[in-house]
Structures are given as C-alpha cells and as structure tokens.
Structure 1
Amino acid sequence: MLKNELRALMRQRKRQFTQQQLSELSLPIVARIKSLLRNSRTIVAYYSLNDEVDTHHLIDEMVQEGKIVYLPKVVSDTEMVLCRYTGRDSLSPGSFGIMEPQGPVMPHNTSFDVVLVPGMAFDADGHRLGRGKGYYDRFLSTMMAPRSLLVGVCFDFQKVELVPTDSCDISVDIVV
C-alpha cells in the first residue's frame, strides 16, 4: 500500500468514531504514556488535534508535576521549532489550525528524555506514517546524541502490519 492510500485508510478509520469515543479510547493510552514519563524531566509533546490521542490534560499534568514540556511550532513550509509550554493560556492557533505555544524557543543545547510523536499509522518496527509534510522527520533527524526515547502515540486501529518508508523517514523506539 502506498503512503497516500494508507493515510486515506486511516482518515476513514478515524471518521468511524465520535469525538467522545476517541476521548475514551485515549484514556488507556495516556495512562501508558504517564508510566513511561514517570522518571522523565524534559519532554517534547504535541497538542493533539481532534482525531489524535488526546494529550491536552496529560500536558497540563506534566507541567503541574514540574516537568519541562516543549511543543512544536511551525515557522516555515519546512521547519518547526520547539517552544516551552507553560499553560493553555500560552497557546494560540498556528499553522494548519494546530494550537501552538507562544513561549520561549527551545535552546539548541537542550536534551530531552522523551519525545512523544504523533502519526497517522505505525507498525511493530516503529515505522511511522505522518501527515505528509515531513516536519517531524526533519526535526527528529537533527536530534543530537544522546538521542531521546521516541514514543509513537496512536490508537490501536492505527497500528498496521507494514508502514511504507523512505530513506528520510525516522522510526520511533516504541509505540503506545
């Protein structure tokens, strides 16, 4: 299956669920993420879209626990940067209608314990299909050693047998 065909299939699967159902399906996934983050201090997360695993409360809880959280902000057609998330009042609509932080941009020497990575589909080998713009692959390819734990976040119905990959695609370490 080609990437665009798999994206179309995932969009179709997502449309089979109401917003309430997706919120309920998010709860056990978020619980697994919380256990992974227990000993983490600095985390890259994402502010979920309506059709993604709901990360809104998780992000707020991490900040309340004293964790340092960065979220992506799109700054050009090819680049995203990370900005510190300090609370929902620091968000405003950005590119593609995604809520983005307006806080300070991450310093270049910052290292992260965990990076939560959204995707349209994942396979058991950690291959990830994004939305097609390549923002995460470009960002993840710039991460310096020691590399953070990359955690793919998706609903069970987004897990597939095989995700087609290209040489520029970055795989995740685990999928929850």
Structure 2
Amino acid sequence: MTKKELRSTYKQKRLEISSKEKLRLDDLLLIRFQQLAFENVEVLLSYWPMGHHAEPNTILYTSYLRHSIPGLRIGYTRTNFGDCSMQAVEINEDTLYTTNHIGITEPCGDIYIDPEEIDLVFVPMLICDVDGYRVGYGKGFYDRFLSRCRPDVLKVGFSYFEPVSTIDDRNEFDIPLDYCITQDCIYEF
C-alpha cells in the first residue's frame, strides 16, 4: 500500500480504539519500552500526543525516562508551517504550552536544543513497515528534522499496530526508525 492509503487506513483504525482499550495499550507500550536500556541518553526529543488523532501517550514514556535518567534534558517539538520545519524547545516543570491551529500542543519557551545534541527522538507515526520506514502525517517535518541530527541518534516510534510488510512509495528522504514499540514486540531495525 502507498503512504496515502496507509495513512487513511491507520488514522481510522486508531480512532476506532475505545478509550479503555487505549489506556490498556498505552500501559503495554510502556512496559515494552521499559525493556530497552538508554545508558548514554542525555537529551530526549519528545512530542505532545494529539488526542484528536488518538496517538500513543508519549507523556508516559517521557515521564518514565525523566525519572530513570538523572539530569535528562527534554525537548518538545515546535513546528513552523511556513517552511515545514521544526525546532526542539527545551522544557522543564515551569514550561507553558500552547496549542497551534491544527491541534498540536507545543512549548512556549525560547531555549532551543541543537539537533546535533539529541540522543533519542520519539517519532510520531501511524504505521511502519518491517524495515522501519514509517508513515506519518504527510508533511515531512520529522524527516527534515532528523536529517539534521547525528547519524547515531536513536529514533523510536510507538504503535498500536504491528508493522506492515512494506510501504510501496518510500523515497530517499525517508529516514527509518531504529525501534518500533508495539504491545507485543520491540522491533529493532
């Protein structure tokens, strides 16, 4: 299937998950995620899950790492729709947030993290394939941002669904994940 077909299918599948089932799945994803070791991670880039898209609850996974890694610096994404770019804004317990015009909650701060400093990125996705290539929301924000990170940055996606066999229209700008966490498995690519 193409990205467009997969995007349509998996957006709908996520919306069909009941609230109760989503809570259960988020807990299972956290349990799987806790099986990974991140000894050398000092800087994490996360994102606020969009409720209207029924995204996995990345706040759980971010909080887990915050408590597991003393001194962890955490950034959240801020998007610029004018040029389809993204920045990593460092957050702390005093950070204020705003919701942009498409429903993405973003930090209001002005302390930026250089992409080269980031060790681990939580990458939003609807589905990925068995090679780690993912289908996002179709604007390329993350692939452009990830191309500015170090080659060894760890890229982790969380999914309520197992990977598909292939995405038919992958291209040279697509950057694969290193891990996809599902309720049943940790896929390493």
Task: Output the TM-score relative to the length of structure 2.
Answer: 0.81
For residue 166 of structure 1, what is the aligned residue in structure 2? 171
The CA deviation at 1:95 is 4.4
Q: Which of 92, 107, 110 does residue 104 from structure 1 map onto?
A: 110
The answer for the alignment partner of 1:5 in structure 2 is: 5
Residues 31, 85 of structure 1: alpha-carbon distance in 2 compared, 3 angstrom cutoff: farther
Q: Is residue 134–residue 176 contact of structure 2 (8 Å, CA) maintained in 1?
A: yes
Unpaired runs of 5+ residues, structure 1, are: none
Please give the alpha-carbon distance, in whole angstroms, between the structure 2 residues aligned to 1:56 and 1:149. 18
Taking the aligned partners of 2:167 and 2:32, their CA distance within structure 1 comes to 23
Runs of 4+ off more than 4 Å: none
- 8 Å CA contact retained: 1:60, 1:87: no
Distance 1:4 1:58, change over 3 A: same
Distance in 2 (CA, whole Å) between partners of 1:125 and 1:109 is: 24
**8 A Cα contact 1:45 1:117, kept in partner:** yes
CA distance in 1, matches of 2:129, 2:86: 25
Tell me by how many angstroms 1:128 deviates.
Answer: 0.7
Q: Which amino acid aligns with 1:68?
A: R
Shift of 1:13: 1.1
Give me the CA root mean square deviation.
2.1
Aligned to 1:75: 80
Q: Is the 8 A contact 1:10 1:158 kept in 2?
A: no
* CA distance in structure 1 between the partners assigned to 2:101 and 2:145 by the alignment: 16
Aligned residues: 174
Structure 1 letter corresponding to 2:102: F
* Aligned equivalents of 1:27, 1:35: Cα separation in 2: 13
The structure with the largest helix share of the pair is 1
Q: Give the superposition deviation at 1:49.
A: 1.6
% same residue: 26
Match of 2:36 in 1: 36
Shift of 1:18: 1.4
The question of 1:135 aligning with 2:138 is answered: no
Q: Which amino acid aligns with 2:158?
A: V
User: What is the alpha-carbon distance in structure 1 between the residues aligned to residue 100 and residue 36 of structure 2?
Assistant: 29
Q: CA–CA distance in 2 between the matches of 1:158 and 1:16?
A: 16
Matches within 5 A, 1:37-56: 38-39=38-39, 40-50=41-51, 51-56=54-59
- Please say if residues 42 and 119 of structure 2, whose CA atoms lie closer than 8 Å, have aligned partners that are also in contact: yes
Residue 94 of structure 1: aligned partner: 100
2:79 and 2:90 map into 1 onto residues whose CA distance is 14
Cα separation, 1, equivalents of 2:35 and 2:94: 23
**Alignment partner of 1:59 is 2:62:** yes
Measured after TM superposition, the shift of residue 60 of structure 1 is 3.4
